[in-house]
Amino acid sequence: MECKPTPDETHTYCSHTAYQLKPWWRLDLLDIYYIYNVTITNRGDGWLHETAGVEIRIGNSLENNGNNNPRCGVTSLVPAGSSVSFSCGGMEGRYVNMYIPKIQATLTLCEVEVYGT
């Protein structure tokens, strides 16, 4: 998933959920891969908290929408327009989930990069 600048390049389009309990987003890779790195890019304006506390989950199960798969990492506060990368050590999976457990929140993602073999 990639953010797309508007023609004047002052804004980007990002994906976001509704304000809800335990929001999540899932990428289906359509096959099983060994995932070595996941990079998340935050939006460039003042809503930094919408990428805080996001768990990155990787695996093959769709139990709980894939949110019970093993965890690669958890984000802290990502500065506006910045990216954070997580080394996942070759975790095996078809599904890559972004999940904020336990709270009401909006999950916003402007770019997600997944690297594996």
pLDDT classification of 12: cutoffs 50, 70, 90: low
pLDDT classification of 1: cutoffs 50, 70, 90: very low
Residue 59 vs residue 45, higher pLDDT: 59
Percent of the chain with pLDDT over 90: 61
CATH number at residue 81: 2.60.120.260
Domain that holds residue 13: 4-116
Three-state secondary structure readout of 36-91: EEEEEECCCCCCHHHHCCCEEEEECCCHHHHCCCCEEEECCCCCCCCEEEEEEEEE
Residue 6 vs residue 70, higher pLDDT: 70
Domain count across the chain:
1
What does the pLDDT look like over 48-80, one tens digit per residue? 666 778 999 999 999 999 999 999 999 987 777
- Give the predicted TM-score (pTM) of the model: 0.86
